[in-house]
Chains A and B, each alone.
Chain A
Amino acid sequence: MPLVLNEEQNMLKDAAKDFCTNSTPISQLRGLRDDTSETGFDTDTWQQMVELGWAGITIPEDFGGLGFGYLGMGVVMEECGRTLTASPLLATAVLGAGAILHGGSDELKGELLPQVAGGELLLALAVEETPHHNPYGATTTAEKSGDGYKVTGSKKFVLDGHVANKIVVVARTSGNAGDRDGLTLVLVDSGAGVNVTRTIMADSRNAANIEFSGVQGVLLGEEGKGADVLDKVLDAGRILLSAEMLGGVQECFERTVEYLKVREQFGVPIGSFQGLKHRAAQMFCEVELSKSVVLEALSSLDDDSEQVGELASLAKARLNDTYNLVSSEGVQMHGGIGMTDEYEIGFFMKRSRVCEHSLGNSAFHRDRYGVIQGY
């Protein structure tokens, strides 16, 4: 846990910053929203990201990736977060690829992971069945059938579920909703027996509600022990999403501080008022602490540390709260103009709340942290 980036990671960060600033500014997201794009992301941009190697950053070289690790993926996600870049990176390269990497046979990995790294295959992870994150809450069933399993049930809020070619479904082979035992992960093709309804969310990004009617798929991990793979995948997702949120937090905060310096009222810049200065300074502290927890959590993934779970919850709880604070204060401190659609600051607020409810809100993660700590 070095808590600082090495030279290669810094170079990747600079490259990602250049790319996002020039190729995916927030105006791109606005355009996708206004043009009601079918994919919700720009396919040419995604192809460029793939060519930069981003889809395979965490995929081992043996399977066609870069094997560059989670800190590397983290700095890319962070820069994407600054410009609210819409892309399938989290759902495909982190969640979906992670499930295959941790749960797939060598044969399956050899077949699918190079396709992920090459940008030919889009993936999604179908976990939720209710409006709240509940990783062990599956009632969707999986039944042994021939070489694989048949999946029946319905899932909500499947990130990028509307574009995925294949979907990792968290299903149940035994036990009751809430039980960690009895969960089974099944990889299914998005096609016959899979009814996908795209949901349009406030952040203009992508999710889907999906009905599975007895669709046949292949097992990832062990039957009934899916939670072992699921926990790893979710923790990586939580940490990488926290990295994206960290980018949004910093951009939103910097824009707000800049506005405090230029907006004048009563004949002076509003940033000269102590009532705003102190709130800005308090946010600065929260932002600095957020940087540290994300770095530590990313390092723990690279080290395959035993503390990944608690650090994922530490990072996600903190970034949920900090992003919420900074984006709320961002709108408030911008005043009336912060309420307009024309101005970009409101985009951060919308993205922050969707992120907050993805992969566990703060109450979920505080509770989980306490449980891991034994109280």
Chain B
Amino acid sequence: MTALDEFRLETRSWLAANCPASMRVSVPEDQIVGGGKRQVYENPEAKIWLDNMASKGWTAPTWPSEYGGGGLSKDEFLVLQDEMMRINARAPISGMGFSMIGPTLLDYGTEEQKREHLPKIVSGEIRWCQGYSEPGAGSDLASLQTKCEDKGDHYSVNGQKVWTSGAQYADWIYTLVRTEPQAPKHEGISFVLIDMAQPGVTVKPILLISGNSPFCETFFDDATVRKDGLVGQLNRGWTVGKRLLQHERSSISGLSSGGKKGRYDDMGKLSNIAVEYIGKDSGKLADPALRDAVIQNELNQRAFGLTQQRSMAESDKGETATFATSMFKYYGSETGKERLELQLKAMGTQSLGWEGQDFGDNERTLTRTWLRSKAGSIAGGSSEIQLNIIAKRVLGLPD
């Protein structure tokens, strides 16, 4: 038996003993655990599951163990994923700490920054959010104006961020700020870490078309940043920020499942839903035009998943190849949106319920999810920006 086979057996028996029964069903969106000081555990087993996984470092399986991570190799990580999927174990926790700031600190953080922040992400103690976009800086992110001044023993931040996802639940925010107003726009930006538990930080949720408020406006009025809260060099934050965006794009594209599961597969397979609402004729979905479109979408999802797996297989560390990130972000979000549009067509008027008893929970969730999905091709750099990046960085087309 190889070491990897042994690891698989150990993992299987550990999961059998430590994954509570109620954590082995798909997680409803409102019960996804993000951690942080404001996290409420409606199901106490969710907290037990989180603590069990965190004790192994398996909330962040590939992070080095000296920072609380699992220290797993790529192959061990894939085994862990496999074994979790085998029993349908849900992710114990997720969020920007894991998908974005953690990996960025591993790349660019000082030893002290890693030791201070990473273990608290692993344990779920601290939840992070992202301060990038501003009212005047969307696709043209580098035109951001939030000001950060050196006050001797600390920095002081003034300005406004927007589309800060989950800011109302977060404890810390990582932010792009302008530290050198006279420099060319890409060269006067720094990347700073801000503790949100201070009077200078105010958060206001934004009601979206989905009826939910996953995004906020975040205001800084003389907010204080510790001197050691600067990540990377002063005025070189654009480099750090861009690297982090790659992590963000990977997570929006649904890369986290390693290509083995479609982004919305937790809602059920599209073809099964179509059959449930439309029925079959001679063994085939009874609406031939919709059937063709559903098959096309499932084929595209499958090709996309295989491409994610290929990208991971090509990389030594089990990460996405840099060139591929924009492709995954673009293709994953567009294919996901199309899937939900097809689900609407499959379910007819039952797909558009807003509230009340005429619609099932799944049906009302779909309405909101469908609307929420439209942000997938806007947030983290719109589809058009991703296509620009592919054209420039991958294909080498001129400006």
Contacts and interface: CB of A to CB of B under 8 A. Distances in A.
Interface of A: 2-4, 257, 260-261, 268-269, 271-272, 274, 276-278, 280-282, 284-285, 288-293, 295-296, 314, 317-318, 363, 366-367, 369-371, 373-375
27 contacts: A3-B309, A257-B396, A261-B396, A261-B397, A271-B391, A277-B392, A278-B384, A278-B387, A278-B391, A281-B390, A281-B395, A285-B327, A285-B331, A288-B327, A289-B306, A289-B331, A290-B303, A292-B303, A292-B306, A292-B310, A293-B303, A296-B306, A317-B299, A366-B296, A370-B271, A375-B274, A375-B280
A366 B310 contact: no
Interface string B267-311: 000011011000010011100000110111011101110110110
B395 A375 contact: no
Interface in B380-399: 384, 386-388, 390-392, 394-399
Given A278-B384, A366-B299, A370-B295, A3 B306 contact: yes
A375 B270 CA distance: 11
Given A261-B396, A375-B291, A318 B303 contact: yes
Nearest to A4: B313
Nearest to B275: A375
Given A3-B310, A367-B295, 5 more contacts: A257-B395, A261-B398, A278-B388, A371-B284, A373-B271
A369 B294 CA distance: 11
Contacts of A291: 307, 310
B390 A284 contact: yes
Interface residues of B, number: 42
A356 to B, nearest CB: 16
Given A272-B398, A291-B310, A293-B303, A366 B292 contact: yes
Contacts of B388: 274, 277-278, 281
A370 B293 CA distance: 11
A235 to B, nearest CB: 16
B330 interface: yes
Contact of A366 (B275, B295, B392): B295
A277 B395 CA distance: 9
Contact of A277 (B300, B309, B397): B397
A257 B398 CA distance: 11
A71 to B, nearest CB: 13
Q: Which 3 residue pairs spanning A and B have beta carbons closest together? A: A277-B391, A281-B390, A292-B306
A271 B299 contact: no
A280 B391 contact: yes
Nearest to B394: A284
A200 to B, nearest CB: 33
Nearest to A278: B387
A291 B309 CA distance: 12
